Amino acid sequence: MLNGFKDKYPELVEVFSIGKSVLGKDIWCIRVTNEKNNTIKSSCLIDGCIHGNEWEGGEAYLYLADYLLINFDANETITHILNSSEVYIIPLVNPDGREENTRWNENGIDLNRNFDAGFGRLLLTRGGVFRLGKVFGFIKIPYFNLGKLGIYENCGRHPFSEPETQAIRDFMMDLEKNDFSFYVNCHTADHCIYTPDETFKPTFEMTEQETHIFNYVLNWVGKNTEYETAGTGINFHNGKKFYDSGMAQDWCFKEFRIPSFVFEILSLDYFPSNVGYPIDISYFGGSKHDHIVHWMQTTIPFFMYLLVNIDNLREWKTPDIQPSLPEGVPPEPF
C-alpha cells in the first residue's frame, strides 16, 4: 500500500525502511510532503502498531496518509500543511507481532516497555521505584499468549535491546536535526489521548510552559473529539490512572523535549464487556478488529489539529489554530 501511494503521488511521497525486525522484516516509513517546495519545514513522527495486535494504531496512519494525499491541492489547509511540513508515518513498528497478531515482538518483548524511560518497573509497582521488571528481560517467551494480567511485562534485557526500538530511536535522532516538532504513538483501544506519564520523575519534570501546552492540547481534545483525556503527566486506561515504564512517548519527551502523545483508538470489539486493562483480550492475541473505518475517521480531527499547529508545537507556543474539517468528520459516536 505504501508503494501504491508512491506510484500515485510521486511528488508527495517517499517510502523507505528505517530498519529491520527480529525476523528481518522491513520497518517501513512514508514521508509525505510537497517535494516541489524547498523551504525549511517542520517535521513530525506518527507511528503505530508497536503492539502487533493493535491493528487500529497502524490503520489510522494509513488512513491519515490517504486523507492528506487525496486532499492536497483540493483543500487549502492540507495544501499548506504539505507545503510547510514533513509528515513521517510508520504504520507498523512491530511487523513480526502484527503477522502473528500478538502484542510482543519475535523475542517475546513488549517493545513499548523497551525504551530508556523509567525502564524495568514491575507493573504492580506503577508509580513506584522498583526496577525488578528488567529481570524478566532474560526470559524470552515468544508469543506467550496467556495473559500476564499485570504481573510483569517482558521489557527486554536493557533499554533498546530490540532491533525495532533501536530503529525508532535512531530515526528520531535523525529527525531531531530537522526541526522535529511532535510525536504521536498510536495504540488500541482505550479511547483516550494522554501525555508523557513519567513526568512525576525529576528527570522528566515539565516546565510551566510545557505543562500549559500539554493541557491546552488535552482541553482541545476534550472539546472537539469523542476521546477522553487525563491530566498532564498521567496515563490511564478505562479511567484508571497509573504510571507505566519504558514507553516511547516518555523517552521522546525526555530526549528531545518536544510534545509527545499516546493516542489510544477505541475499538469496542477489542474490549469485550469492557473488562479493561490489564485483563483484556489483547494479551491473548485473539482480539477482533471490526468497524475499523469508523475508528479511522474519529482520528482525523486530532491529527489535523496537531498538523496545523506544527510550528507552534515545535516552539512550545499555544497551539490555537483551528483545523478545517469536512462535513461528516468526525463521525457520530457509536
- Cα(280)–Cα(271) distance, integer angstroms: 6
Whole-number average pLDDT of the chain? 81
pLDDT of residue 203: 56
pLDDT 10s digits, 155-171: 888 899 999 999 999 99
Is the pTM value of this prediction over 0.95? no
pLDDT value of residue 144: 47
Distances (CA, A) of 30 to 87, 150, 174: 8, 34, 15
* Predicted pLDDT of residue 53: 86
Q: What pLDDT is recorded for position 167?
A: 99
The reported pLDDT for the residue numbered 297 is: 83
Residues 128-143: tens digit of each pLDDT: 334 444 455 445 544 4
Per-residue pLDDT reduced to its tens digit, 232-291: 544 444 344 445 678 999 999 999 999 999 998 876 655 543 444 444 444 444 455 566
Cell output for 101: 497478531
The rounded percent of the chain whose pLDDT value lies above 70 is 75
Checking if the pLDDT of 184 tops 60, the result is yes
Check if the beta carbon of residue 103 is closer than 8 Å to that of residue 55. no
pLDDT class for 77, splitting at 50, 70, 90?
very high
Read off the pLDDT of each residue in 317-322 and give the average, rounded to a whole number.
97
H helix intervals, the chain: 2-8, 55-71, 76-84, 95-100, 163-175, 208-224, 248-256, 292-308, 310-314
Average pLDDT, integer, range 290-297: 74
Average pLDDT over residues 292-299: 79
Homologous superfamily of 2-314: Zn peptidases (3.40.630.10)
